[in-house]
Amino acid sequence: MSFSRWYGPPARAMLDVMHSDTERCVRAVQSKDARFDGWFFTAVLTTRIYCRPSCPVVPPKPHNMRFYPSAAAAQQAGFRACKRCRPDATPGSPQWNERADLVGRAMRLIADGVVDHGGVPALAARLGYSVRQVERQLRAELGAGPLALARAQRAQTARVLIETSALPMTEVAMAAGFGSIRTFNDTVREVFALSPTDLRRRSAGRDRPTIGELSVRLPFRAPLCPDNLFGHLAATAVPGVEEWRDGAYRRTLRLPHGHGVVGLRPLPEHIRCDLALTDLRDLSVAISRCRRLLDLDADPVAVDELLAQDPALTALVAKNPGRRVPRTVDGAELAVRAVLGQQVSTQAARTHAGRLVEAHGEPVADPGGGLTHLFPETAALAELDPERLALPRSRRTTLTGLVAALPRIDLSPGGDRQAARDDLLALPGIGPWTVETVAMRALGDPDAFLANDLGIRLAAEHLGLPTTPAGLTARAAAWRPWRAYAVQYLWATSDHPINILPV
């Protein structure tokens, strides 16, 4: 039975207020529907615990259930996390990546560590609102303010470090972002109903990696088609920064307190994430960026259900359901790489980016060998000599203009998507293809659409769709708000190893 028929149309509108619709929440819990993990949390009055909807225990009586839009709200109401289903380890709500409003942008920035590093004033400044406005909006929708939401994230980071590392508890507390060992102890007991020592004891027998290295599982909503996701990342990997090796995608990460190297390996029920960090305080940010890179908080059933309604896409969706949009860990990096990829093959774009990395990237040590640099920062790129780039003069001008403009264009997870589009389009040499590529992969817009991409137009011709940008855009109106996912299905119709790309 389809999601929309069982829970009632329209699914998207219903999910935006899911936690406040008691009847539908009860049905989701009674059916143990994992699709709703992360959408809302179920608190049980008799046990004072909160769970994910798919918790394997016998569902409580409906009159004993209470529903919350966030783990932080459940914690503030005095409930502790279930030890069985570990609700703090669920995929995030898809709407925080979809929404372009204040709350959606705020949630992406909190996940990226803005509150931990700069407090609520820094969050408000990034959003362009007052502290009071930000707190009021978050409390209204999520039942908790930005400090409580960041605290819930710190608690999850602490649990990961307690269970997967051999760090002393004092270092775990500091790495997870707690200001004191007392606050750390109190928070862990309050959230998990166990002391930090008891949590570690429960995980006895696990391998303890060396300091700075750990392995975590990244959950996702099924289905997930890893082929296009990891295939794209491997095909476009920049030498020295990224590589595909032994069934895993590996890359270097620039993080707030240092750098890291991550290996991401697709497995049937989760993504294995092997991290080597120079500073463990960056753990939560590194995990957040990896989840964003792989689009792991998406709701593939909702996406596929809508796209499959178009007869031209039905067979594509049925063949490989669960395609994700490969994104990025750094918006500025993606913008530079998009310009380097204008009007050239994928291999040529990799070669240009590799030369840029070798000349201007920061050298790093890779414990596993193979990776050598971080992608250059904007400040380093500002010092490059455009005459030394093996690019046409017009593209050199475009690249230098972009680098000069990047400090004033917000391409972070919490950036204003339309404002960023406008700023990019105003730069000489940057057209709709480049703008929509950045919107899709850097800004995470699920509705970005590359109507003038050659691969998309070839796929459209093959499927009997309109092939002009205007005609294809008109047909794609029915695919909204998931046009970026439609792009992934269209690209999958054939292999384009040498795809000449428009500007």
How many other β-carbons are positioned within 10 Å of the β-carbon of residue 113? 25
> 152, 187 in Cβ contact below 8 A?
no
CA angle 408, 411, 417 (to 5 degrees): 105
Nearest to 344 by CA among 413, 398, 421: 398
Residue 13 tokens, joined: 């509108």
In the annotation, is 51 catalytic?
Answer: yes
Catalytic residue among 25, 51, 55, 290: 51
Residues in the chain: 503
> What is the distance between the alpha carbons of residues 52 and 31, in angstroms, rounded to a whole number?
12
Beta strands 258-266 and 248-255, pairing class:
antiparallel
In the annotation, is 453 catalytic?
Answer: yes
Nearest to 112 by CA among 86, 149, 140: 149
Catalytic residue among 297, 299, 310, 453: 453
Q: Say if residue 196 is exposed, middle or buried (CB neighbours under 10 Å; 0-12, 13-18, 19+).
A: buried
> What is the distance between the alpha carbons of residues 102 and 447, in angstroms, rounded to a whole number?
18
Residue 101 tokens, joined: 């409003």
What residues are paired with 254 via a beta bridge? 259
Nearest to 284 by CA among 34, 115, 36: 115
H/E stretch holding 441 reads helix 432-441
> What is the distance between the alpha carbons of residues 333 and 353, in angstroms, rounded to a whole number?
10
Nearest to 425 by CA among 446, 409, 447, 440: 409
> What is the distance between the alpha carbons of residues 466 and 463, in angstroms, rounded to a whole number?
9
| Active-site residue list | 51, 453
